[in-house]
Amino acid sequence: MAEIRVNPTRMELKKLQTRYTTARRGHKLLKDKRDELMRQFLEVVREDKELRERVESRLSEVYGSFSIAAAVSSPEMLREALIMPKTEGTLNVSYKNMMSVTVPEFDFKASAVSDGGVNYGMAFTSGELDTAIVELGGIMQELVRMAELEKTAQLLAEEIEKTRRRVNALEYIMMPQYQSGIKTIKMKLEENERGNLTRLMKVKDMMVKKTIEAKKNVSDTDAEEDI
Amino acid sequence: MYKIGIIGDRDSVLGFMALGFSVFDVNDADSARSALRGAVKDGNFAVVFVTERIAALIEDEIEKYKDMPMPAVISIPDKDGSTGYGMSNIRNAALRAIGADILFSEK
């Protein structure tokens, strides 16, 4: 891991310590965010999975009756029959804030253009077509709900990925770097402190020696004078 | 007031016409790509359904809209049944988020 180079000064130490506490707080917050996002994501995905299974099986039923209808009438006829929509669906989109991720909410309302039944002549089309279209109308709500859930899941997945990266970067890169920086500075400062102390002791020793020497000299001359 | 689009092969998507969907019937990757691009550019489409077989062909194009709130590009099975592509999309999202396949592992 790349070490950060720091000047071993008290100011630098103070700076690093603040950055470390900030990083630790950010890390905790992001971790909480990630956990909550994950919980919501799992809820969405579980529901989506169930819904998709249901929609897929019902859709294949629709396709079944639809292909029978296509088999018994000519393609032009089929197209002609279907070109006028039976229902005019209105889709409203609103946005919801989910853990600061903007997710869409689809609100689908089907309103019949013609009152009841189907919008084409009965004479040239088969009964299977009617069934297919009625069935298809029935799963519209679920289809739209599925689209909403799946989009939400995609957006949440992106956000979770981002948050996870941030959490990891803080936990494994930033915070250890700060810690080692702080440790280096502290050790350097202590080392300086010790160096200073020994120097002082040494100087004191020298001074004491000098005074002793001086005293000795004085007492020596005194003794000589006495003689 | 938004529109719903559907892109896929003719036989699969024709039925949706009766429900007021905007239908793009396409047969190859290029026309599907331009249909999807057109729909996105239009700006009025909130949801674009793409049949699984077509979606598998233009995966890179769909990938671009994955992180945008709109439109939702969702794959659905076509007339020949499900290929499991749509389900694998959910699995991939879970994989991306969690980093492990925990939801679908029971299968």
| Cβ contact B67–A155 (<8 Å) | yes
How far CA B21 is from CA of A18, A96, A130, A132, A134, in Å, comes to: 58, 25, 17, 15, 15
Residue from the list A48, A60, A104 with its beta carbon closest to the beta carbon of B70: A104
Report pLDDT for B56.
82
Q: Is residue B13 in some structural domain?
A: yes
Q: Is residue B68 in some structural domain?
A: yes
Q: Sort out which chain B residues have CB atoms less than 8 A from A53's CB and list them.
A: 87
pLDDT at A153 over 90: no
B4 contacts chain A (CB < 8 A): yes
Report pLDDT for A133.
75
* Residues A173-214: tens digit of each pLDDT: 999 999 999 999 999 999 999 999 999 999 999 999 999 999
| Cβ contact B18–A85 (<8 Å) | yes
User: Taking a contact as any Cβ pair under 8 Å apart, which residues of chain B between 23 and 62 contact chain A?
Assistant: 46-47, 49
> Would you call A180 exposed, middle or buried from its count of C-beta atoms within 10 A (0-12, 13-18, 19+)?
middle
* Residues B53-100: tens digit of each pLDDT: 888 888 888 888 887 777 888 888 877 777 777 788 888 888 888 776
**Top-confidence residue, A197 or B33:** A197
**Weakest-pLDDT range from A64-73, A119-128, B4-13, B64-73:** A119-128
Here the ipTM equals: 0.84
Q: What is the CATH number of the domain that holds B15?
A: 3.40.50.10580
pLDDT at A117 over 60: no
Q: Is residue B62 in some structural domain?
A: yes
| Cβ contact B93–A160 (<8 Å) | no
- For residue B21, give the nearest of A107, A89, A114, A77 by alpha carbon: A89
Within a 10 A sphere around the Cβ of A119, how many other Cβ atoms?
Answer: 16
Q: Which domain holds residue B24?
A: 3-80
**Number of domains, chain B:** 1
pLDDT at A42 over 80: yes
Is the CB of residue B86 less than 8 Å from the CB of residue B72?
A: no
Q: Is residue B64 in some structural domain?
A: yes
Report pLDDT for A20.
94
B20 contacts chain A (CB < 8 A): yes
Q: Which residue of A has its CA nearest to B91?
A: A45
* Residues A59-82: tens digit of each pLDDT: 888 888 777 777 777 777 777 777
Q: Sort out which chain A residues have CB atoms less than 8 A from B76's CB and list them.
A: 55-56, 59, 143
CATH of A24-181, one of 1.10.287.3240, 1.20.1440.130, 3.40.228.10, 3.40.50.300: 1.10.287.3240
| Cβ contact B46–A119 (<8 Å) | no
Q: How many CA atoms lie within 13 A of A156 on its CB side?
A: 30
Within a 10 A sphere around the Cβ of B99, how many other Cβ atoms?
Answer: 11
pLDDT at A18 over 70: yes
Q: Sort out which chain B residues have CB atoms less than 8 A from A79's CB and list them.
A: 14, 17
pLDDT at B107 over 50: no
Report pLDDT for A212.
94
